[in-house]
A and B are shown apart, each in its own frame.
Chain A
Amino acid sequence: MTGRDDLLALLLRIGDDHLILGHRLSEWCGHAPMLEEDLALPNMALDLIGTARMCYGYAAEIEGDGRSEDDYAFLRDGTDFRHMLMVERPNGDFAHTILRQFLFAAYMQPIWDGLTAASDARLADHAGKAVKEMAYHVRHSGEWVIRLGDGTTESARRMKAALDDLAPYIGEMLESDETAGRLVAAGLLPDPAAVRSAFDSVVARTFTMAHLPPLDVTAGISGGRTGRHGEVLGHLLAEMQFMQRAYPGLTW
């Protein structure tokens, strides 16, 4: 693997995480439990999709084979996607969606914070914007986690059920591999121990206030980083990619 291959792998991992989660959030548009969240969830989705666009646009420039950001989003098959499995999971109820958002943002905020000093100027520049977006996502979703966990009997039950559902996917989010190790050495990812420490402290503080049990990260389901995804991804891509598949080159 060359440095160029590693940078491309990183752009696809980050880009796919953000695109797929952004698409999941966008599914709430028009269906959120209250008007305020019907705007808040797509607001966050647009932040995520903005990051995916940066990643794909940059990857397209590096590959230089005439493909555009749209090709990465709309013309790749499921096995070519490199996102963590948690982001492709169906939305479930509002508690499930908001807890997943909190966990993802709590993980990405220290990564973007570290990437503001990345050895790659383009990534570092985007990190300055993304770290502010993630700070808001952590705050907004975290405040909801607290209020649902410490709300009514029903909301607490749903928040606990969401944690039980998502727990098997947290290990993959936090795991490292050889590619990630080389990226850290190349100054293209922050030290995983520092990321983990920041993630643990934000989660512990929020979970305590939400009366949720301490996060127990055990080895769970994995494979997203090598393109082994769940059946649910096929359904997601069928909807997300339909227009470009059915009408190639369509613009609007």
Chain B
Amino acid sequence: MSDDAEKSTPGTLMPLWEVFIRPRTGLAHSHVGSVHASDEVMAVQAARDVYTRRGEGVSIWVVPSASITASDPDQRDENFEPTASKIYRHPSFYDIPDDVGHM
């Protein structure tokens, strides 16, 4: 049984989880949002109840939000602006035959 002092810190009892849903077999899991839950088992159930009510998915991943390492917003310019001048990296200069279909 946990120490009741934890009651005053709800973040300890109900940490945040990031939710990823795979809409169909063959597609990748995509981030859809987050849920609060006491542990990974409850997080999967909460994700099921919050994010798959309209048949959105066939598989759920949950990851502790605290486990995600993010890029620094202050480094946004140095990270992402240099690519803006390199349009040759886009494969948009090729003629795609019609029967290739959607790429």
Q: Which of A's residues lie within 8 Å of B, judged by CB?
A: 34-36, 39-40, 43, 139-140, 143-144, 147, 150-154, 156
> Which residues from chain B sit less than 8 Å from chain A, CB to CB?
1-2, 4, 6-7, 14, 35-39, 41-42, 45-46, 49-50, 53
> Residue B37 contacts which of A36, A39, A156 (CB distance < 8 angstroms)?
A36
CB-based contact B35/A152 at 8 Å: no
Q: What is the CB-to-nearest-CB distance from A212 to chain B, in angstroms, rounded to a whole number?
A: 13
Number of interchain pairs (Cβ within 8 Å): 41
Supply 12 A–B pairs (Cβ within 8 Å), ascending by A: A35-B50, A36-B49, A39-B50, A40-B45, A40-B46, A143-B41, A143-B42, A147-B38, A147-B42, A152-B4, A152-B7, A154-B4
Residue in B2, B14, B37 with the greatest tally of chain A CB atoms within 10 Å: B2
Tell whether A39 pairs with B49 under 8 Å between CB atoms, given A143-B41, A147-B38: yes
**Cα distance, A153 to B1, chains bound together (Å):** 7
Are A40 and B2 in contact (CB-based, < 8 A)? no
Bound together, the chains give a CA A154 to CA B45 distance in angstroms of 23
- Shortest CB distance B8–A (Å): 11
Contacts of A151 in B (CB 8 A): 1-2
Within 8 Å by CB of B7, from A36, A39, A144, A154, lies: A154
CA distance A143 to B49 in the complex (A): 14
* Interchain CA distance A152-B12 in the complex, whole Å: 12
Report A-chain residues with C-beta under 8 Å of the C-beta of B35: 36
Whether A140 pairs with B45 at a CB distance below 8 angstroms is yes
Complex: chain A residue closest to B46, CB-CB? A36
User: In whole angstroms, what is the CA distance A140 to B50 when docked?
Assistant: 13
Q: Across the interface, do A40 and B49 meet the contact criterion of CB distance under 8 Å?
A: yes
Kindly provide the distance from the CB of B56 to the nearest chain A CB, expressed in whole angstroms.
13
Q: How far is the CB of A1 from chain B (nearest CB, A)?
A: 41
User: Whole-angstrom distance from the CB of A143 to the nearest CB of chain B?
Assistant: 6
**What residues of A have a CB within 8 angstroms of the CB of B46 in the complex?**
36, 40
Cβ–Cβ contact B1 & A150, under 8 A: yes
Nearest B residue to A41 via CB reads B49
Alpha-carbon distance A232/B4, docked complex (angstroms): 35
5 A-B pairs with least C-beta separation: A36-B46, A40-B49, A39-B49, A152-B4, A39-B50
Assess the B50–A152 pair: CB atoms within 8 A.
no
CB distance from B22 to the nearest CB of A (A): 19
Q: Which residues of B contact A147 (CB under 8 A)?
A: 38-39, 42
State the Cβ distance, B87 to closest chain A Cβ, in Å.
Answer: 43
The residues of B that contact A150 with a CB separation of less than 8 Å are 1
- What residue in chain A is nearest B39 (Cβ atoms)? A147
Which residues in B have their C-beta under 8 angstroms from that of A36?
Answer: 35-37, 46, 49-50
